[in-house]
Amino acid sequence: MNKILQYLIALVLIMTTSGCYEDFLEIVPQDNLVTDSFFRTDAEIRAGTAALYGMPWFDYNDKFSWVAGDAMPGNLYHTWDQEGQFFFFSFNEGNAHLTRGWQSLFRVVSYSNSIINDLPRIAGGYGVPQEYIDRGVGEARFIRAFAYFILAEYWGEVPIVENSTTLVSNNTLILPKNTKSSVYEFIRRDLEFAEQHLLNSDAPGRVTKWSAKALMAKLYLTMGQASGSADHYNKAKQYSEDLIENSGLTLMPDYSNLFKIENNNNPESLFALQWVEGAYGSGNSVQANMARSSMITGNSESWGGFKSLTYDFTKNVEDGDLRQPAIYMTLGNHYPEIRRSAGGYSYLIVNRDAQNNILENAAPVLNNVKKYVVGSSADTGGKVTTNQATAMNTYMLRLADAYLTYAEAALGTAASTNDGKALGYFNAIRSRAGLDPLNSLTFMDILKERRIEFGMEGQYWMDIKRYFYRNPSEAVSYLNSQQRAHFYERVQGTNPPDENSLEGYVLMPPTSPVTVFESNMILPIPAAEVSYNPLLAPGQPAVEYEFN
Amino acid sequence: MKKLLPLLLFFISGIVYAQSNITGQVTAAKDGLGIPGVTIQVQGTTVGTVSDINGSYTIMASPDDILVFSFIGFQTSEIRVGNQTRLNVSMEEDIKTLEEVVIVGYGEMKKSDITGAVASVSEEQLRGSVFANVDQALQGRVAGVQVTQNSGQPGGGVSVRIRGANSITGSSEPLYVIDGIPFQGDAVGTSGFSWAGGANGQGQVNPLSTINPNDIVSIEVLKDASATAIFGSRAANGVMLITTRRGKAGEAKISYNNFFASQTAPRRLQMMKLPDYAEYQINTANSVDGINVNERYLDPSILGDGTDWQSEIFQTAPMSSHQLAVTGGTEKSTYAISTGYFSQDGTVIGSNFDRITTRINLDTKVKDWITFGANLTYANTNERITLNDGGDGVIMQALVMPPDVPVRDIRGNFAGPENNTADISFNPVASALMRNNTLKRQRTMGNVYLNLTPVNKLSIRSDIGFDDNRALGNAFHPTYDWGVLINNENKLRQRNEQSLFWIWNTYATYTTDFGNGHNIVAMAGTEAQRSDWEGSEITKINFATNDIPVLSQGQQEGQVSNGWKGASSLASYYGRLNYGYKDKYLLTVTMRADGSSKFGSENKWGFFPSMAAAWRVTNEDFMPTSDVLSDLKLRFGYGEVGNQAIGDYLFGSSLQTLNTGFGTAYRNARISNPFLRWETTAQYNAGMDLSLFQGKINVTLDVYKKFTRDMLLQLSVPSYLGGSSWWDINAPFANVGSLENKGIDLAINSVNIHSRNFKWTTDFNFTLNRNMVTELDSETSFFDRNLYWYSEFQSATRTKVGSPLGTFYGYIADGIFQDTEEILNHAVQVSDPSAGDTPRNLVDKRDGVWIGDIKYRDVNGDGVIDSNDQVIIGDPNPKFTFGFNNNFTYKGFDLAVFFYGSVGGDILNYAKVITEGQTSVFNNQSITVANNAKLGLIDPDGSDLDPSNVFLANPDATIPRFSTNDVNRNNRMSSRFLEDATFVRIQNVSLGYTFPAALTSKAKVEMLKIYVNIQNLHTFTNYSGYDPEIGAFGQDALMQNVDMGRYPMPRTFTVGANITF
């Protein structure tokens, strides 16, 4: 019996080791920092805000920016599948690109919010000086404002989310739409904070107080086109003039140099997405979507063979416009920076090899997209990789925008203007493009100039929206009068003219034109969101946001 | 000389021991028939033999020796030799024929004492067929266990469900315990291909493929909570206890088993041949703007068949296995040592798998009261995985690659398509052979135990085990020039992972009999376990040549690397009390407490009790002895088990690193939830074990109901509040919702005929499970799974309250529009913006709904087809599955025919979206597309754009018209792509012959068997894809039966031989 006792005692000993188990069961992450142990220094704050300039925007930049920003308003001819539905205005709330655009912009909001909400508390606790904290929050508030500005122009009334952590923790998942005026006010407050706390100049690529002023000018201009209020126009003028005159920033002398990787974060750039080659999601994927062929990218990611600038766009490009080769490639263009090792790339409508096999085929409007197409890894010193990643930054806002914003604000509600300052700024843009100056400006002059200047930069829909606020019926009939769906067909017959000449093709009107209605001017909220939250359904009222 | 040697030995031994040859026959007392396989041993020695097919035996023994005759199911008899030379023995059947011993958690029990739902797979069943992996041995063999192969890839993934899936987003794979050491059945990741562009396919392989099935002698499946609760935390999905072969005292035995097999892909899909494809292109070009006719196609009749891509990628592939085992030992020490080699090529070119294993099991009695033992096993697997089971996979690409593209061009290089479109296809042969994805794994598992029996009734056992895993994955993306597809940048991703798991458990078992029929077995113990893992991943580009994909050859610039490291731990206390009274009443009570590192300090511990009782009715005095009813046991049990199978530190938030233009950036990984705690599954089980006609018919029937509550789920939130993708600041994990599984397991075994030379037995099992989500965080919550973000399959499956897991969710397709009037009278699919207040369809060839488009049902009757018309349109879960096996033995021959069936359930045939989706004229299509909707003109000179001039020329068409941008969304997720998953398969047919012992013993061969086997002989199904057994994509319970070009299971012809000396 003694023996049993011994063993039972041993057993009891083993079983009373629970004290040790408490430590045994405490395991903290071994390969990542924990949230509350970060933001201890200015450098860590910088590493936190660095996350706002790339990846969360990826899905927006990847497709939405050009299907909605350029194909929808008639700049980009692209008819394929769900992407093409934007060109035809035939998408609905289930469209994958619509959903991804929405998700991406709200992802930007959630990244920003986590900094705006966590940074002051945590960094404050570590005793980081207030100016660094405010600057970090300022970056985040600028970027949140930018995302909301895009959301407002595409979707109109959207829910304002300031702190997803508390909303989710309190199980407050169902939010109403907020009125557009609330959203604009929300953006204005963010920009006001950013303007106060961001620096005059900062490390290359970081937003500054001038970035905030530039967006503020656009915000007021947008509000002005809707309200017709002189106060709004004046604010837009003040902000853009201040920026142009006092920021020390300058236009790049050569437009085409804007779109070269080596000129990332040049003095014209006010806010650009900061891409880096390598992994999927951290680089700019637009080249993969737009490049015509593997000959240009040096890899298989080149899906732009059937994408062109529309006939309507090209006929608005004046002869001798120096911007054309930087926006799209067409017959006669030569690019020494692409296929450097082969002596550059010359555009041919149909490109064949020695055996007469087709390497590159005719695009629908006999041109292909150039903007954000930068060439292969070898052409760029390794700044292009597969995984759809180039290191070419995406312009979200550049100084040229402020020049044209001033002109548009100076025009105000008038039919035309010959305001000297407005003409000066406006003609600065034209002169860089090698075009003759104008002596007076109408809204259509400015709209057309913006269309070309920012062609394929995902901007035109927002310009059309301001046109629409200013004059809804004119804007809709403008879209309906576009020759966006015209395409070229090869001349048939026994002896057709050279396939590499314009004579070899005939311009064909579409079998039916693209028709646009006023109801098309606001995008539907994605179906998945509405199934979660019925308050986002069409027809549900928007409420005023309660600012605290 | 060789012939003389045994003779010589015979004389020598005869002289030394004065032994003589004893012969005789062993018969059953009951029917006087000979019993084959009886072990006859000279007591106290290692000398022994086995009776042959007629029960006859021959053994050397001296007059003082005692011969021990033993055989399962019979009472052991001991007979002194004396001066007889012929000893005929009649063996009495052991009345406790059910006295099999069953391994349970932390111990073993007599089968008759079991109170829970436990099923066993015996060695006999395991040896009855040819398996590459253990999981295949289980398919259709055990009631309540559903095994589906997720891929036919050699070494490909598998999903095993014991009584349904218990978790929505977590793992539902059971816990495997091999000789006492737990082993997780979750899939193992590979380098995959998504990083190199395109989709990934199934980037997971089978964890069970590191186990050599030849080493296994039995598998016990613990199904209900009263059986599994002793495993507490990790047992929510059921437990499989795997026992490997151990040595037996006696003369050493050497056995060698091998087989050689040939595998073929079972069927081909009917795709367009070149003339069909040319006609399809011409028809399409004539009806759609901007598509140019290929001049060569103008007369399809002169074209050949073109390339048959399926024939190019499928092959007849060999498989072989060799296994050498030695077992033996003395009364005090026994050993079993084995080594095996298995090699399998895939039926898709470029895929293969091989495995080398070694196992050593030792047991030794150090003292009377101390037993010491050790197991050590090493496995080395090596597999080459093609990109499969996905839209970009080799199989899918072989289907859509146009027949006008040759495999190789005239210079002998791989060819490719001539048109560059967004959904362009790769040359699948080139892709299979040149895109390399390999995985090498090494696994060393072992344990050492010490068993003390200080006094008769008490035993204490302490076990220390470990499981060391190393994996090296390599994926290489070459440079190529395949038609218009050119890649100048090759790249390699190398992934290195290692992990170490250790476990230490100690438990004491006290067995006592109080007399008066009361007896008790009490067990209590404690256990600690910990896993540590780390890994790294390096990607390099621009290798000098495709031939040497080794990291040193890549360039330094553009190198991307990543690393990870983590750990988790569990600590537990457990106890079990078995009480029995006169073999009539049995009671089992268990309790387990588990602490997990995966929860915050307030919520680490979970408590999991269980109770089960059984009543052996036939042992009651009032039950008359009956020839009909031999045994009847009723069982009832209830228990709770836990689940903590989630990632680490999900209760808190760590920072995710991002690669940015500003250098490394950080962001919050998720919203934290410090209140996260254990998920619990409670289960009721009622069962009956019935034995009729002296055990000729055995029936086991169980009914059960399981409730999983406090499910560990990531909250699903609208995307304006976050999300669940890697890109998002993730929604928190929380304990929300509950899930229910209920069902019936039935197993019937019968001995139909048992005569002198002929025996026929039948095993039948039936599995029925219904699962349903009963609660989520809110009534409107749901979990969606999508297939490719850019497709119309954003909610391919939806899981919500009141529905089973992973139901298919979409629109109901109601045929094809025949004419304009029908479109105008139908609910609005594409709104005509000029219609004003009375919405109607826009009838337009390019921008609207057109004749030949799919008509969708207006489910809610509001006159508009929109997301509110999406409903549950199918359920991947089968109504029931069954296995039906018949064994026939005649003299030395044995024949087994095994059917496996799965009835009910639906398949989402996503492959059809691609092969019948007509998204581009540059992709090949199914031959069925030749009969797509064709339009006729009422006035042949009129416009084909005029709605009133167009009608459907082939009114019976089931496939819509060609449309470049599919405004009507004919390819949206709808009932159009659902098919019935029912199938019955002749899973296995095997025919073997065992040579008579009389013959083989002359060559000192104890047993020699040869056999032929056909696996997956034929599948009876209406499914139009390759194989109706799809499984779960990436083991995800919400992605079951989604066919994205799944690698089909091969049909396998095998010949093999087993020999034992």
Query: In sequence order, what are the beta bridge partners of B798?
Result: B784, B807
Kindly list the residues from chain A whose CB atom is less than 8 angstroms away from the CB atom of residue B789: 96, 100
Of chain B residues 183-212, which have a CB less than 8 A from chain A? 194-197
For residue range B104-122, what is the model confidence (pLDDT) as tens digits? Answer: 888 888 888 888 888 888 8
Name the residue in chain B with its Cα closest to that of A356.
B418
Interface check for B566 against chain A (CB to CB < 8 A): the answer is yes
Of chain B residues 347-366, which have a CB less than 8 A from chain A? none
For residues A388 and A283, is the Cβ–Cβ distance under 8 A?
yes
For the ranges A74-83, B17-26, B81-90, the lowest mean pLDDT is seen at B17-26
Q: How far is A17 from chain B (nearest CA, A)?
A: 9
Kindly determine whether residue A15 and residue B524, on different chains, have CB atoms separated by under 8 Å. yes
For the ranges A423-432, A538-547, B57-66, B333-342, the lowest mean pLDDT is seen at B57-66
Kindly list the residues from chain B whose CB atom is less than 8 angstroms away from the CB atom of residue A81: 422, 919, 964-966
Is the pLDDT assigned to residue B519 strictly greater than 80? Answer: yes
For the ranges A5-9, B84-88, B145-149, B996-1000, the lowest mean pLDDT is seen at A5-9
Kindly list the residues from chain A whose CB atom is less than 8 angstroms away from the CB atom of residue B595: 21, 25
For A110, the closest of B424, B454, B729 (CB atoms) is B729
Q: How far is A438 from chain B (nearest CA, A)?
A: 39
For residue range A47-68, what is the model confidence (pLDDT) as tens digits? Answer: 999 999 999 999 999 999 999 9
Of chain A residues 33-52, which have a CB less than 8 A from chain B? 33-35, 38, 44, 46-51
pLDDT given at position B204: 65
Interface check for B406 against chain A (CB to CB < 8 A): the answer is no
> At A2, is the pLDDT very low, low, confident or very high (cuts 50, 70, 90)?
low
Name the residue in chain B with its Cα closest to that of A535.
B718
For B666, the closest of A33, A80, A167 (CB atoms) is A33
> At B716, is the pLDDT very low, low, confident or very high (cuts 50, 70, 90)?
confident
Those residues with Cβ within 8 angstroms of residue B270's Cβ, 6 or more apart along the chain or in another chain: B926, B927, B928
> At A230, is the pLDDT very low, low, confident or very high (cuts 50, 70, 90)?
very high
Across chain A, mean pLDDT equals: 92
pLDDT given at position B12: 41
For residue range A19-52, what is the model confidence (pLDDT) as tens digits? Answer: 567 788 888 888 788 877 889 999 999 999 999 9
Of chain A residues 314-353, which have a CB less than 8 A from chain B? none
Instruction: Say how many CB pairs under 8 Å bridge A and B.
Output: 350
Sequence letter at residue A154: Y
Interface check for B46 against chain A (CB to CB < 8 A): the answer is no
Query: Three-state SS for A350?
Result: coil
Q: What is the C-alpha separation between B25 and B53, in angstroms, rounded?
A: 10
For residues A426 and A449, is the Cβ–Cβ distance under 8 A?
yes
Kindly list the residues from chain A whose CB atom is less than 8 angstroms away from the CB atom of residue B460: 7, 11
Interface check for A428 against chain B (CB to CB < 8 A): the answer is no
Kindly list the residues from chain B whose CB atom is less than 8 angstroms away from the CB atom of residue A80: 421-422, 964-965
Of chain B residues 737-776, which have a CB less than 8 A from chain A? none
Kindly determine whether residue B656 and residue A90, on different chains, have CB atoms separated by under 8 Å. no
pLDDT given at position B13: 42
Interface check for B615 against chain A (CB to CB < 8 A): the answer is no
Kindly determine whether residue B665 and residue A109, on different chains, have CB atoms separated by under 8 Å. no
Is the pLDDT assigned to residue B243 strictly greater than 60? Answer: yes
Of chain B residues 283-322, which have a CB less than 8 A from chain A? 289-290, 292
Q: What is the C-alpha separation between B907 and B981, in angstroms, rounded?
A: 6
Give the predicted TM-score (pTM) of the model.
0.82
Sequence letter at residue B220: E
To the nearest 10°, the Cα dihedral for A474, A479, A480, A485? 170
Name the residue in chain A with its Cα closest to that of B669.
A35
Query: Three-state SS for B490?
Result: coil
pLDDT given at position B16: 43
Which of A390, A388, A420, A392 shows the shortest CA–CA distance to A406? A420
Sequence letter at residue A355: Q
Query: Three-state SS for B597?
Result: coil
What is the mean pLDDT of the segment spanning B529-536? 91
pLDDT given at position A20: 64
For residue range B734-751, what is the model confidence (pLDDT) as tens digits? Answer: 898 899 999 999 999 999
What is the mean pLDDT of the segment spanning A270-282? 92
For residue range A482-498, what is the model confidence (pLDDT) as tens digits? Answer: 999 999 988 888 888 99
DSSP letter for B834, please: G
For A280, the closest of B195, B792, B972 (CB atoms) is B195
Kindly determine whether residue A274 and residue B560, on different chains, have CB atoms separated by under 8 Å. no
Whole-number Cα distances in Å, B689 to A64, B240, B635: 63, 20, 8
Kindly list the residues from chain B whose CB atom is less than 8 angstroms away from the CB atom of residue A350: none
Kindly list the residues from chain B whose CB atom is less than 8 angstroms away from the CB atom of residue A508: 289
For residues A142 and A191, is the Cβ–Cβ distance under 8 A?
yes
Query: In sequence order, what are the beta bridge partners of B480?
Result: B487
Is the pLDDT assigned to residue B898 strictly greater than 90? Answer: yes
Q: CA-based diameter of chain A, in Å?
A: 114
Interface check for A358 against chain B (CB to CB < 8 A): the answer is yes
What is the mean pLDDT of the segment spanning B714-729? 86
Instruction: Pick from B965, B968, B969, B972 the residue to mutate for testing the A interface (most A CBs within 10 Å).
Output: B965
Is the pLDDT assigned to residue B74 strictly greater than 90? Answer: no
What is the mean pLDDT of the segment spanning B832-860? 88
Is the pLDDT assigned to residue A393 strictly greater than 60? Answer: yes
pLDDT given at position B161: 87
Check the CA dihedral B958-B962-B965-B968 and report its sign.
negative
For residue range A342-358, what is the model confidence (pLDDT) as tens digits? Answer: 999 999 999 988 877 78
Sequence letter at residue B216: I
Kind plus residue range of the DSSP H or E element containing A224 = helix A209-227
Check the CA dihedral B61-B67-B68-B73 and report its sign.
positive
* Number of C-beta neighbours around residue A156 at 10 A: 17
Is the pLDDT assigned to residue A507 strictly greater than 70? Answer: yes
Across chain B, mean pLDDT equals: 86
Which of B255, B340, B325, B132 shows the shortest CA–CA distance to B1049? B132
Interface check for B556 against chain A (CB to CB < 8 A): the answer is no
Of chain A residues 506-545, which have a CB less than 8 A from chain B? 508, 510-512, 514-515, 517, 519-520, 527-534
> At B195, is the pLDDT very low, low, confident or very high (cuts 50, 70, 90)?
low
Of chain A residues 143-182, which have a CB less than 8 A from chain B? 158-159, 161, 164-165, 167-169, 171, 173, 175
For residue range A184-215, what is the model confidence (pLDDT) as tens digits? Answer: 999 999 999 999 999 999 999 999 999 999 99
What are the φ/ψ torsions at residue A424 (nearest 5 degrees)? Answer: -60, -50
Q: What is the C-alpha separation between B173 and B886, in angstroms, rounded?
A: 29
pLDDT given at position B377: 92
Interface check for B409 against chain A (CB to CB < 8 A): the answer is no
Name the residue in chain A with its Cα closest to that of B507.
A11
Name the residue in chain A with its Cα closest to that of B647.
A29
Kindly determine whether residue B649 and residue A29, on different chains, have CB atoms separated by under 8 Å. yes
For residue range A302-333, what is the model confidence (pLDDT) as tens digits? Answer: 899 889 999 999 999 999 999 999 999 999 99
Of chain B residues 626-665, which have a CB less than 8 A from chain A? 648-649, 652-665
